[in-house]
Amino acid sequence: MTMMRRMRLTALRASGAAVAIAAVCAMAAAPAGAEEHGHGHGRGHGHVRGTYLALGDSLAFGYSQAKFEALAPQDPAAAFDTGYVDDFARFLKRFEHVQVVNDGCPGETTESMMKACAYQEAGLPLHHPYPKESQLSNALAYIAAHPGEVGTISIDIGANDALGVAEVVCKLDPTCVAEHAPALLAQIGANLGSILAQLRAAAPEATIVVVGLYDPFPALSTIVTSEPMAQQLNAFTVALNGVLAQGAAAVHAIFANPFSRFNVEGTLEAEQASLCKLTNMCNHIPPDIHPTNHGYREIARAIEQAYLSSLSSQS
């Protein structure tokens, strides 16, 4: 199966995954510490240094299914230039000239980040290629080769771990997904902890930003038909964000949470309208969980807010 077809199937299966994940939500309670931001580290006080290193999955890459289909088979990575990394980089450049190194890999999980980028191995280009290396090993090698230059690191990871269990392990069986929920959150937390610890050891003075997740599935109005069901779906993402926030706090990183910007409180209709505006769940067939340009900008705003709040707390 080609990578293009796998990516299309991932979007197609998203609606089914919503039903499976709903079973997890009833079990998952958000761990303590899921604040909007954590604490800055070391360098702080707004001094931006030479390189912004962006890590993560398709969100860091700036992916959208429609753009991928329009660009295939060439698929130049440079055309994916409206993601949150691009927006946050413009924010950082207000302080000082910043070079962006974007290692984002569509489809990446907390496991594959320490092994290999399947998107790249399938022959599809990344913004910053690292053939025969994992994303993490490349990031660590880049930091080591440019001592003192990497001042800001962002990372979003974990969403594909959850989808992998629902789709691959459980074949969208809700009972199976529910049984795997505790182990899934524990595995994401452990892997993220290892990744962040290595990044912090390599760049002790850098500002690290862990980017939280939103829940796109309440946008599926044919499946999510009530506010209680939407809340069940949201509960799992809140729990996962709690794991991410705890991982950030452990290495004195900032946690930036875009959840409330996408999954607005109030009525189900209001939440669905927000998700239809900020994601491609309603304007692409099959539904695409990735943000629109506006949605990527909202993620960047969440990062900027958390970044500035962290600086204020240090002053």
Beta-strand ranges (E) seen in the chain are 51-56, 99-102, 150-156, 207-211, 254-256, 279-280, 288-291
Task: Tell me how far apart the alpha carbons of residues 228 and 79 are, in angstroms, rounded to a whole number.
Answer: 39
Burial class (CB within 10 angstroms; exposed 0-12, middle 13-18, buried 19+) of 42: middle
**Which residues fall within 8 angstroms of residue 51, CB to CB, at 6 or more apart?**
98, 99, 100, 101, 146, 149, 150, 151, 152
Q: What is the pTM of this model?
A: 0.86
- Specify whether the CB–CB gap between 104 and 54 falls below 8 A: yes
**Which residues fall within 8 angstroms of residue 308, CB to CB, at 6 or more apart?**
none
Task: Tell me how far apart the alpha carbons of residues 56 and 271 are, in angstroms, rounded to a whole number.
Answer: 26
| Cα dist from 302 to 87, 114, 185, 214, 249, whole Å | 11, 27, 23, 12, 17
- Ranges of residues in the chain whose predicted pLDDT is under 70: 1-49, 166-167, 170-175, 177, 315
Strand partners, 99: 51
- Specify whether the CB–CB gap between 254 and 206 falls below 8 A: no
Can you give the pLDDT at residue 102? 98
Can you give the pLDDT at residue 172? 45
**Which residues fall within 8 angstroms of residue 191, CB to CB, at 6 or more apart?**
110, 111, 113, 114, 161
Can you give the pLDDT at residue 149? 95
Task: Tell me how far apart the alpha carbons of residues 87 and 71 are, in angstroms, rounded to a whole number.
Answer: 22
Burial class (CB within 10 angstroms; exposed 0-12, middle 13-18, buried 19+) of 147: exposed
Can you give the pLDDT at residue 175? 66
Can you give the pLDDT at residue 224? 84
Can you give the pLDDT at residue 25? 41
Burial class (CB within 10 angstroms; exposed 0-12, middle 13-18, buried 19+) of 76: exposed
Can you give the pLDDT at residue 217? 87
Can you give the pLDDT at residue 20? 41
| Cα dist from 205 to 49, 89, 180, 191, 210, whole Å | 11, 19, 37, 22, 16
**DSSP string covering 184-221, please?**
HHHHHHHHHHHHHHHHHHH-TTSEEEEE-----GGG-T
Strand partners, 256: 211
Can you give the pLDDT at residue 228? 86
- Residue 100 Ramachandran class (φ > 0 left, ψ -120 to 50 alpha, else beta): beta
Can you give the pLDDT at residue 315? 60
Task: Tell me how far apart the alpha carbons of residues 302 and 59 are, in angstroms, rounded to a whole number.
Answer: 14
Characterize the bridge pairing of strands 279-280 and 288-291. antiparallel
